[in-house]
Every structure is written in structure tokens, then in C-alpha cells.
Amino acid sequence: MNIEQARFNMIEQQIRPWDVLDPGVLSLLAVVKREDFVPAAFRSMAFMDTELPLPDGQCMLTPRVEARMLQELQLQRHESVLEVGAGSGFMAALLAHRSRQVITLEISETLARMAKDNLRGAAVMNASVRCLDGSKGLPGEAPFDAIVLSGSVAAVPQALLEQLKVGGRLVAIVGDEPVMRARLYTRAGTASWSQTDLFDTVAPRLSGFPESDRFSF
């Protein structure tokens, strides 16, 4: 496999057509080596438009979903970011290149170890991995400029929204199969948030988050 050609095809045929047009995001995807964050058995599939299996029943999101979520956060170099669901560490690596500091939370010890090793191997120095249940965020180190949930949830907990700075953004995939929606939340004031629906997709559940009560009104 010609890795650089496969990377180019991923960017031009999957990611750019999905309205990822930020040149900074596109150039970053050409630099951060996704194949180094994929389990060895699936390395040949690193650039495919598919979710890739990870240990403990988790998986990597598709490249286009990762890229679109990264673009929608509109990160600045001085900002601090909280990620929930480290997985293999790839999203944390992308976030770290566009921000000052990333803390990524991972409930699985196996994945937390994998993410740490992968980030170290990629020489990403401004991202740290914590083996924690991320559903409550990290209130002791809040507020954050941006929060990203790297998986789906039935609903975003209020506790996470409250860990945003005023003006801060949170991106999550919200809802139940077969229809989920990527959504951007922005903290407009001390007690107010706005939300914008971004795109429809389906993603695996993040561990530790409560399921919605389908029968509540």
C-alpha cells in the first residue's frame, strides 16, 4: 500500500467532500500519521471510511467525522481542551496540534495505556491521558475552552456543559439509533447555552454515560 497516496485519497475523497474545508485541519490530517494510532491488525485500513475496532469493545470514529468535529470546534492555539473517550489517542493528537493543552479521559485502562503510548510515540507533549470515567468531566480543572465527546451519548450531561468557559464550545454526537446528530453547544453566559445541529451520523456509545428514558416526555 502506498501510504501517502492513501492518506491523500482519504483527505480528498472522504474528508473534503464532507464540508471540511479549513486548510489548517486539512493540512494537519496530512501530517498526523493516523496509521500509527490504529491497532496493528487494522493498519492497512487506517484511511478507510469506516470505524476501526479497538480493545474493550470500543472503536475509532471514521476519519470524516473526526475531521468535521475538529473543524467545528474552531480551536485557537491558546485554548485548553477536554476530550472524553481517548480511544487510541488520535483525536487527542489532532486537538493538541491546534490548542495549548489537551486532557483526554478514558474509562478503559487498556485504551488509556494505548493512547499514552501512541501520543508518546508521536511526540505529542501537550496532551495527557487520565484513566477516568469521563461522564462527569473534570470539574477540578475546569473551565475549558472546548470539550469534545469522541463517541455518542443519549444526552450531554449538564455537568459537562457547566465546565465550559463563557464562549466555550462542546461538540458531541447525541441521540439514539438509527438517527443521531452531531451538535455544537456554546456557552453564551453564566447560565445560558446555545446549540447548533451540525450533521447526522451514527457512532458507538461512550461508556459510563446514562441512557435516555425513551418514555419520558
User: Confidence class of residue 210 from pLDDT cuts 50, 70 and 90?
Assistant: confident
Pairing of strands 192-201, 144-153: unpaired
Distance from C-alpha of 204 to C-alpha of 173, rounded to nearest angstrom? 9
Using CB atoms within 10 A of its CB, is residue 2 exposed (0-12), middle (13-18) or buried (19+)? Answer: exposed
Distance from C-alpha of 160 to C-alpha of 163, rounded to nearest angstrom? 5
Look at residue 215 in the predicted model and tell me its pLDDT. 35
Predicted confidence (pLDDT) per residue in 95-119, tens digit: 999 999 999 999 999 999 999 999 9
Predicted confidence (pLDDT) per residue in 65-74, tens digit: 999 999 999 9
User: Confidence class of residue 1 from pLDDT cuts 50, 70 and 90?
Assistant: low
Predicted confidence (pLDDT) per residue in 9-35, tens digit: 999 999 999 999 999 999 999 999 999
Q: Does the pLDDT at position 216 exceed 70?
A: no
Nearest Cα to Cα of residue 205 among 127, 134, 101, 138: 134
Look at residue 208 in the predicted model and tell me its pLDDT. 86
Which residue bears the cell 443521531? 180
- Whole-model pTM? 0.95
Question: Stretch 163-179: mean pLDDT, rounded?
Answer: 96
63 C-beta neighbours (distance < 10 Å), count? 24
Better-predicted residue by pLDDT, 1 or 46? 46
Q: Which three cell numbers stand for residue 78?
A: 491558546
Q: Which DSSP letter does residue 178 get?
A: T
Average pLDDT, the chain: 95
Distance from C-alpha of 80 to C-alpha of 169, rounded to nearest angstrom? 11
Q: Is the separation of the CB atoms in 97 and 32 below 8 Å? A: yes
CATH topology of domain 65-201: Rossmann fold (3.40.50)
User: Confidence class of residue 214 from pLDDT cuts 50, 70 and 90?
Assistant: very low
| All structural domains of the chain with their residue ranges | 65-201
User: Confidence class of residue 217 from pLDDT cuts 50, 70 and 90?
Assistant: very low
